[in-house]
Amino acid sequence: MSNFMFLFRGGETPTSPERMQAQMQKWMNWIQELRNDGKYIAGDPLQGSGKVLRSPNKVITDGPFAEGKEIVGGYFLVRAETIDEAANMAKDCPIFEGGGSVEVRPVQVINP
């Protein structure tokens, strides 16, 4: 098995506490399914603020600043046999209901 990263971008923010709770429950249910299948390793949402370093002078600025649908809002690390299996697992992600996207990337193993 290999590790894959899901990068979550965009998606609507629920407008009421009830909708927020319902959306959070969908995420928790999906995570539990991945855990039950032995596929979920870790994951967290990311805060909206941060710092960006750019070369050549490595100037630090506030950020990230991009169109909302392009900002990475969170990640999961999962196990799968192939990238196709990982992508298939991502199809059930609740982010799609709000117009968001999931980027599925293999984690490269570097042996020292």
Domain that holds residue 75: 2-106
Q: What is the pLDDT of residue 88?
A: 96
How big is the chain by its Cα radius of gyration, in Å? 16
Counting the structural domains of the chain, the total is 1
The answer as to whether 111 is a domain residue is no
The answer as to whether 112 is a domain residue is no
The answer as to whether 6 is a domain residue is yes
pLDDT in tens, the chain (112 residues): 899 999 999 888 888 999 999 999 999 999 999 999 999 999 998 887 787 777 766 666 555 555 555 678 899 999 999 999 999 999 999 999 989 999 999 999 888 7
Query: What CATH number is associated with residue 82?
Result: 3.30.70.1060
The answer as to whether 77 is a domain residue is yes
- C-beta separation of 96 from 23 below 8 A: no
- C-beta separation of 99 from 5 below 8 A: no
pTM as predicted: 0.82
The answer as to whether 101 is a domain residue is yes
Distance of CA 33 to the CA centre of its chain: 16
Tokens of 106: 């293999």
The answer as to whether 29 is a domain residue is yes
DSSP 12: P
